[in-house]
Amino acid sequence: MHRLIPLLSALSLSGPALAAEIWVTNEKDDTISVIDIGTLEVVRTIPTGERPRGITFSKDHSRVYICASDSDTVQVMDPETGEILHDLPSGEDPEQFVLHPNDRHLYIANEDDAVTTVVDTETRKVIAQINVGIEPEGMAVSPDGKIAITTSETTNMAHWIDTETRELFANTLVDARPRHAEFTAGGSELWVSSEIGGTITVFDTATQTEKGKIEFEVKGVHPDRVQPVGFEFTTDEKTAFVALGPSNHVAVVNAETLEVEDYILVGRRVWHMAFSPDKSLLFTTNGVSGDVTVIDVAKREAIKSIKVGRFPWGAALRP
């Protein structure tokens, strides 16, 4: 309890944060668990299509997009009511996606199909399909919207897509089983995590060349089990939090020196994560233990675990 008090007072300072929510997709429950950031409790459970994984909100947060992988569709939901407004044609087995800064085009990784599908969320039409490597998964788009990235888990590449022509302009090898990609440093760097390789590769966006690699070492855990998946950056982009899968830890990485500063013990097989609005709290989805760990970002400590559905996978903030 003593930990909760400073936390709550910190939250009350941030005002509207009290109403903010973290939305978590439960891959094997076909539901979303909605966590109230004020109370750190699940306040709603919303049914979805089959095997929900990727989740993201529209810019104004009036709609939420959900990859319902086994329903072969992207669902569009009204977050107020939890009602499915309509489905988007997504291509087969959509796993993960990213919304272009234009708030209109969704870039979707079709895991079973070796394709990236681009969907116009307004016309609800597929506007392009781009052949990529086997088992596309990680998706990112540069802040200026000019580059989209798909990582392919079995081909072990980051595929660089020109969003104007919707064609590949580079394919760069990374270590085995790339899972997640994010642009950082104003878009000048691309980070790609490799689950089986156990690394994050940092690329220079301008030249698409490797400029660094992050390796992890968790005490008492064999390197084979240290498997980076999702990661997120703090507001100043100086620190990254990296989910390390079955090692059950989140790494805290100095984004400038690429050195790991800390490891935080969380739930079992940690996948993805989302921040609270002021980025003071971080919520990680722990697939095997079926819960979400809440991390105090300043203290780099786990402060609570919250039971959600079976196999929580994706996480998104609704401010």
Tokens of 246: 């079955």
Among 134, 218, 221, 303, binds another protein (CB under 8 A): 134
* 204 part of the interface to another protein, by CB under 8 A: no
- d(CA 34, CA 49) in angstroms, rounded, equals 16
**Shortest Cβ 283–another protein spacing (Å):** 23
Total of chain residues touching another protein, rule CB under 8 A = 34
Among 146, 225, 300, 304, binds another protein (CB under 8 A): 225
- d(CA 33, CA 25) in angstroms, rounded, equals 7
Candidates 6-14, 106-114, 210-218, 293-301: pick the segment binding another protein (CB under 8 A): 106-114
* 258 part of the interface to another protein, by CB under 8 A: no
Among 4, 18, 43, 173, binds another protein (CB under 8 A): 173
- d(CA 270, CA 203) in angstroms, rounded, equals 24
Candidates 15-23, 79-87, 118-126, 190-198: pick the segment binding another protein (CB under 8 A): 190-198
Looking at residue 8, what DSSP letter applies? H
Q: What share of the chain is helix, strand, coil (3-state, %, to 5)?
A: 10, 55, 40
Cβ closest to another protein, residue 110 vs residue 142: 110
**Shortest Cβ 171–another protein spacing (Å):** 4
**Shortest Cβ 60–another protein spacing (Å):** 33
Burial (CB count within 10 angstroms: exposed 0-12, middle 13-18, buried 19+), residue 125: exposed
Site for another protein in 136-155 (CB under 8 A): 153-155
- d(CA 18, CA 282) in angstroms, rounded, equals 15
Cβ closest to another protein, residue 2 vs residue 222: 222
- Give the torsion through C-alpha atoms of 12, 14, 19, 22, to 10 deg: -110
Residue pair 49/62 in contact by the 8 Å Cβ criterion = no
**Shortest Cβ 133–another protein spacing (Å):** 6
Based on C-alpha coordinates, what's the Rg of the chain?
Answer: 18
Binding site for another protein (CB under 8 A): 111-112, 114-115, 128-131, 133-135, 153-157, 159, 167-171, 173, 175-177, 195-198, 222, 224-225, 246
